[in-house]
């Protein structure tokens, strides 16, 4: 059974966050993506700009969250949507 979750964080350089995904546990297979989103009200319009981003670690937990560590190659915080899918 697949499930997904997402959250928006403000980050630059290496960061770590948790994304709630119903049904996630230590045996889940999880994948994550990072997308820059517009800083305007709503903040949910994805776009490609000059900042590059990388996902480093994805660790599903028995608590129903997935821990994601990534990096935003930019000098100041930007809005990033962290999306996770589990299988």
Q: Is the pTM of this model over 0.75?
A: yes
Q: What is the pLDDT of residues 36-77, one digit of tens each?
A: 999 877 768 999 999 999 999 999 999 999 999 999 999 999
pLDDT, residue 41, reads 75
Dist CA 80 CA 71 (whole Å): 10
Q: What is the pLDDT of residues 1-45, one digit of tens each?
A: 699 999 999 999 999 999 999 999 999 999 999 999 998 777 689
- Asked whether 19 and 68 are in contact (CB, 8 A), the reply is yes
pLDDT, residue 32, reads 98
């Amino acid at each position: 059974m697949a499930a997904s979750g997402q959250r928006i964080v403000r980050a630059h350089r290496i960061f770590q966050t948790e994304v709630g995904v119903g049904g996630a546990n230590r045996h889940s297979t999880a994948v994550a993506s990072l997308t820059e989103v517009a800083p305007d009200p709503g903040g949910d319009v994805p776009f490609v700009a000059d900042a590059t981003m990388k996902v480093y670690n994805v660790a599903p937990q028995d608590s129903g969250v997935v821990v994601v560590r990534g990096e935003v190659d930019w000098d100041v915080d930007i809005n990033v949507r962290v999306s996770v899918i589990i299988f």
